[in-house]
Amino acid sequence: MSLFYRRYKIMGNSHNGIKRIAAMLCITAVTAFAGIAQAHDGGWDDGGCGKQQHRHMGKLFGKLGLTDAQKAQAKAIFQGNRDVVKPIVANLRTERKNLEALLHADSIDEAAIRAETAKIAGIQADLNINKAKVGAQFRAILTPDQLAKLKTLRQKHSEATDK
């Protein structure tokens, strides 16, 4: 059995399972602070996935019961982060293209693949550190009750993705 087939079979061998996983990944990205994902296209209302993420953020804001002032602060946090993240995401995209080219080259250059993979890991680490910082800024504007709700929502999401 091929590795792909085994992974596919583990996921439930259905398109619904794949769709569920994709939806959970999208929710994770959204709830993990949309500012990073917004960076690559430059806005809350960019017409693509940005609108979908904006809608999910709106739902999250509603579930948390954010005030208009908190919503404005959150939007400022995420939009302010765009300029920081945009070049990092562009660099990540470039390095992934470079890795893809190495993976499909006529000859295998293991050292180059390892080096490119290490570059990508470093860039992803930078994004994760940024995500943690933005997350801390976002949590700082929440009340204790809202923080408890956020923790509950994350726990439910985590349990749903583990199924």
Q: What is the domain range of residue 86? A: 15-162
Q: Is the pTM of this model over 0.75?
A: no
- Residue 119 to residues 37, 91, 160: CA-CA distances in angstroms? 20, 10, 32
Query: Which one-letter amino acid corresponds to residue 146?
Result: Q
Residue 92 lies in a domain: yes
Residue 29 lies in a domain: yes
Residue 132 lies in a domain: yes
Q: What is the number of residues in the chain?
A: 163
Phi, psi of 136 (to 5 degrees): -65, -40
Reported as a single tens digit per residue, the pLDDT across 39-93 is: 434 443 333 445 666 677 778 888 898 999 999 999 999 889 988 999 999 999 9
Residue 99 lies in a domain: yes
Please give the tally of structural domains in the chain: 1
